Structure 1
Amino acid sequence: MARRSEPPDGGWGWMVVLSAFFQSALVFGVLRSFGVFFVEFVAAFEEQAARVSWIASIGIAVQQFGSPVGSALSTKFGPRPVVMAGGILAALGMLLASFATSLIHLYLSIGLLSGSGWALTFTPTLACLSRYFSRRRSLATGLALTGVGLSSFAFAPLFQWLLSHYAWRGALLLVSALSLHLVACGALLRPLFLTEDPAVGGPGAQLASLLHHGPFLRYTIALTLINTGFFIPYVHLVAHLQDLNWDPLPAAFLVSVAAISDLVGRVASGWLGDAVPGPVTRLLTLWTTLTGVSLALFPMAQAPTALVALAVAYGFTSGALTPVAFSVLPELVGTGRIYCGLGLLQMVESIGGLLGAPLSGYLRDVTGNYTASFVVAGAFLLAGSGVLITLPHFFCFSAPTLKPQELVTEALDTKVPLPKEGLGED
């Protein structure tokens, strides 16, 4: 098959966007809405809530820490068979969970098996999308990731309806059937061969080069810091509002307001990321800084109007940073190394996501309120912004003469060896 010198920026790429939209919905929409099964599992197995909570936690951990496996397999075999296999595993895990007789069974079926399936789907799909787009990459990513928010609204009431009509075993069977659509999403991922691919080597060579790639390592640190504070409002905002004597229903509604703003922010930021000249890193730094400031201001707001305004601001800016965060990586490491780069990045940054909520809860226990929790969360994002400004070309007001993928193409055409440190190094 002929190799392209650069991404097509359209064509079949829009089908990849459609695949990524449904795939993100079927992975993270299910994960975000799985809490409706929580009460059913507690009652069915007569277990403590903390032990039941491990079902989703194991699934999330396996999905995040297994991302490099999905990336390595996609580098070797292409994303299509990997994502299709992941869809089968995700559906099989839910199917086996419907026959569960103990929590251990659910840990292994949903946590380990479905989690492994999710690990083989999300990262390869986003990496494949990044290879199809260059100028429109931020917009394409933003549109793809709106599937997470839309499915979060749809799946929670759907799962509740399934539980009321079919009980939890029947509901899990139907969620298994729903998850099987990931196979169709994988079938849409047509492989794209770029001129730079032979130069970057196999998964082992790519991993070794990324571990010595200064900008990539700094970017990984930045996103890990951002991830530590990013999810705090979704975990503790309702509890914070109840400390302010809000009723549970209005408090939950405020989280929905943030989620709606998140959707708008993803699309708007995707469009801006492609329209505004200069490195997209600057836009990511702007959204990260504004998200950190809005988080730190939450404890200062007491009036309902101020809290609604902050929820809108947080939702928009946190949603806006997501698509550009994925768009920065190909500029740093080149599209040839995007599979391994994205997998390694997601594995490391997940540490921040896993530690953020427990740290926030610990600060609440120590201080008696959520003031320190939100301030520290905002400080993590501001620290991440500080690391982002150290990336290459951040302070340049003219685009670099050669993009990373163009540097590889030039090396292949002229037989000039690539720089020893790798693409994008300082």
Structure 2
Amino acid sequence: MPVVHPDPPDGGWGWMVVLAAFFQSALVFGVIRSFGIFFMEFVGYFGELSGRVSWITSIGIAVQQFASPVGSALSTQYGARPVVMAGGFLSGLGMLLASFATSLTHLYLSIGLLSGFGWALVFTPSVASVARYFKKRRTFATGLAFMGVGLSSFAFSPLFQFLVDTYAWRGALLVVAGMSFNLVVCGALIRPLTLKEDLAGPRDPGGSCLGKLSTLFGLPLLSHWPFMRFVLAVTLINTGYFIPYVHLVARAWELGFDEYQAAFLMSVAAVADLSGRLLSGWLADCRVFRLVHILVAWTSLTGISLALVPLGRSYPLLMAISICYGFFSGALTPVVFSILPEIVGIGRIFGSMGLLQMMESIGGLLGAPFSGWLRDMTGNYTASFLAAGAFLLAGSLVLVTLPNFFSCLSSSPACSQVEAGTEPSLLTPACGKHSSQDRDCLARSQDLRKPT
């Protein structure tokens, strides 16, 4: 019989899980962000249009996001360790097969489909595993895990360029494949963890295969209205969040700055992003403020910084706005994933995270094209960044509609936990004490983990 933990251990082997998630985020999103180094190599070798070549990474990202519920369902059934190890093998195999590509279709299937599906099996289960191992320090641990994305973005771009210059693109892809196979080792570090809440509900949802599949994929959460409102908010946030990664450099060129000045804007934003993740994790785990309020604050500040981009006509001012954007956007990321257990409970973290990843991808996929369309219609990027800021502010407004956002606001750090053995709820006062007018709030707080 496995050992049943009443609460997440908040440390111990959990730090090894954080280390594994750090390398997993680096070897998934660090590779994706730096894959542009191969872009012109593919254009020149295959003699294809840039638009067709760009579909390689687009397919990979789309498969990674839309297949996230598959990774979550398999993790719920078999545990995160074998799923992540299988995903690491598939992602490395896709890169290996891509090194022998003779056409773009070959690259679509190997990198886009095979590696993309491998990334889906790696990322969501690894982040969910961090959430399961931590409670009081969950946001800080998640922030540390996500630092792998920023640091690898710095390191991989020059590394990939060196590999391409030395071994050509086929040899470089072989090296990237070898790096990706290390995801198997990272997956092996994720030890199974059985929590008391895992045993609270029935394991068998019913005799029908349909019912079992529905539960494995977390489909009952589609009628969980607080969760669905949270998904809507994150989707709106995602629509504006990634626009600077695509259009901030072009905005700098539009203002007459050279390519090195434009690229430096993204570099300083990445440094600020790392700082924001660490500070946000520390602040959230201090338990002085509720996570939902912290998330609304970071989201609103990110939206405001994006809306201010059109005012940055001088380079120092645009630099300052880029630093603010990088810091605030980095700060909100770990809070988004840390708040999920407070909405649905830690027992349904795999299913909820898979559904969130799949549905929020709609915003990520539509945001940049919509921003480009606004630029084409208006002739500049002013409307694009105003719209990006508006999407994040709209996401903040949706977060405000979560049940009892404006009530139960006491926040004493000395007594921030609710009853022992239970996950703190968005609807529970941080001090755990209830006045007569808050009795109804306490009664409703139990509804967050079941459909309403």
2:320 pairs with 1:309: yes
Q: Which amino acid aligns with 2:449?
A: L
Q: Distance in 2 between matches of 1:391 and 1:425?
A: 14
Q: Which amino acid aligns with 2:248?
A: L
Provide Cα deviations, 1:288-335, integer angstroms capped at 9, x if missing partner. 000000000100221222111101100000000001111110110111
Tell me how far 1:419 sits from its aligned partner: 10
Q: Which amino acid aligns with 1:33?
A: S
* 1:38 alignment counterpart: 39
Tell me how far 1:422 sits from its aligned partner: 5.7
Q: Distance in 1 between matches of 2:243 and 2:62?
A: 17
Check 1:150–1:419 CA distance in 2 against 1; reply closer, same or farther (3 A cut): closer
Q: Is the 8 A contact 1:209 1:422 kept in 2?
A: no
Q: Distance in 2 between matches of 1:218 and 1:290?
A: 20
Q: Give me the CA root mean square deviation.
A: 1.9
Tell me how far 1:195 sits from its aligned partner: 1.1
Q: Is the 8 A contact 2:196 2:421 kept in 1?
A: no
Tell me how far 1:262 sits from its aligned partner: 0.4
Q: Select the residue among 376, 380, 383 that pairs with 1:369.
A: 380
* 1:80 alignment counterpart: 81
Check 1:2–1:257 CA distance in 2 against 1; reply closer, same or farther (3 A cut): same
Tell me how far 1:204 sits from its aligned partner: 2.7
Q: Is the 8 A contact 1:261 1:315 kept in 2?
A: yes
Q: Is the 8 A contact 2:342 2:424 kept in 1?
A: no
* 1:109 alignment counterpart: 110
Q: Distance in 1 between matches of 2:445 and 2:316?
A: 55
What is the TM-score with the length of structure 2 in the denominator?
Answer: 0.89
* 1:71 alignment counterpart: 72
* 1:49 alignment counterpart: 50
Q: Is the 8 A contact 2:128 2:353 kept in 1?
A: yes
Q: Distance in 1 between matches of 2:448 and 2:400?
A: 20
Check 1:324–1:9 CA distance in 2 against 1; reply closer, same or farther (3 A cut): same
Q: Distance in 1 between matches of 2:323 and 2:423?
A: 40
* 2:196 alignment counterpart: 195
* 2:19 alignment counterpart: 18
Q: Is the 8 A contact 1:292 1:380 kept in 2?
A: yes
Q: Which amino acid aligns with 2:172?
A: A
Listed as ranges, the gaps of 5+ residues in structure 2 are 205-212, 411-415, 426-443
Q: Is the 8 A contact 1:404 1:423 kept in 2?
A: no
* 1:397 alignment counterpart: 409
* 1:358 alignment counterpart: 369
Q: Distance in 2 between matches of 1:52 and 1:300?
A: 34
Secondary structure at the counterpart of residue 196 of structure 2:
coil
Q: Which amino acid aligns with 1:5?
A: P
Provide Cα deviations, 1:225-283, integer angstroms capped at 9, x if missing partner. 00000011111011111111111110111111111100110111011110142420110
Q: Select the residue among 352, 358, 371 that pairs with 1:347.
A: 358
Q: Is the 8 A contact 1:222 1:384 kept in 2?
A: yes
2:243 pairs with 1:232: yes
Q: Distance in 1 between matches of 2:10 and 2:400?
A: 28
Q: Which amino acid aligns with 1:310?
A: I
Q: Which amino acid aligns with 1:423?
A: R
Listed as ranges, the gaps of 5+ residues in structure 1 are 409-417
Q: Is the 8 A contact 1:332 1:424 kept in 2?
A: no
Tell me how far 1:421 sits from its aligned partner: 5.8
2:183 pairs with 1:182: yes
Q: Is the 8 A contact 1:215 1:424 kept in 2?
A: no
Q: Distance in 1 between matches of 2:423 and 2:328?
A: 32
* 1:295 alignment counterpart: 306
* 2:341 alignment counterpart: 330
Q: Select the residue among 266, 280, 284 that pairs with 2:291.
A: 280
Tell me how far 1:205 sits from its aligned partner: 2.7
Secondary structure at the counterpart of residue 196 of structure 1:
helix
Check 1:84–1:249 CA distance in 2 against 1; reply closer, same or farther (3 A cut): same
Q: Distance in 1 between matches of 2:85 and 2:354?
A: 18
Q: Is the 8 A contact 1:290 1:317 kept in 2?
A: yes
Q: How many residues align?
A: 417
Q: Distance in 1 between matches of 2:375 and 2:448?
A: 44
Q: Is the 8 A contact 2:269 2:325 kept in 1?
A: yes
Provide Cα deviations, 1:27-84, integer angstroms capped at 9, x if missing partner. 0000000000001000110000000000000000000000000000000000000000
* 2:434 alignment counterpart: none
Written as runs of structure 1 = structure 2, the 5 A alignment for 1:103-252 is 103-200=104-201, 201=203, 204-205=214-215, 207-252=218-263
Q: Distance in 2 between matches of 1:355 and 1:320?
A: 23
* 2:8 alignment counterpart: 7
* 2:275 alignment counterpart: 264
Q: Which amino acid aligns with 1:226?
A: I
Check 1:65–1:284 CA distance in 2 against 1; reply closer, same or farther (3 A cut): same
Q: Which amino acid aligns with 1:237?
A: L
Secondary structure at the counterpart of residue 211 of structure 1:
helix
Q: Is the 8 A contact 1:261 1:319 kept in 2?
A: yes
Q: Distance in 2 between matches of 1:403 and 1:25?
A: 35
Q: Is the 8 A contact 2:305 2:389 kept in 1?
A: yes
Q: Distance in 2 between matches of 1:382 and 1:331?
A: 22
Q: Distance in 1 between matches of 2:135 and 2:339?
A: 11
What is the TM-score with the length of structure 1 in the denominator?
Answer: 0.95
Check 1:242–1:63 CA distance in 2 against 1; reply closer, same or farther (3 A cut): same
Tell me how far 1:390 sits from its aligned partner: 1.6
Provide Cα deviations, 1:373-397, integer angstroms capped at 9, x if missing partner. 0000000000000011122343222
Q: Which amino acid aligns with 1:48?
A: L
Provide Cα deviations, 1:107-146, integer angstroms capped at 9, x if missing partner. 0000000001000000000001100000000000000100
2:449 pairs with 1:423: yes
Tell me how far 1:404 sits from its aligned partner: 9.2
Q: Distance in 2 between matches of 1:94 and 1:403?
A: 47
Check 1:81–1:237 CA distance in 2 against 1; reply closer, same or farther (3 A cut): same
Q: Which amino acid aligns with 2:409?
A: F
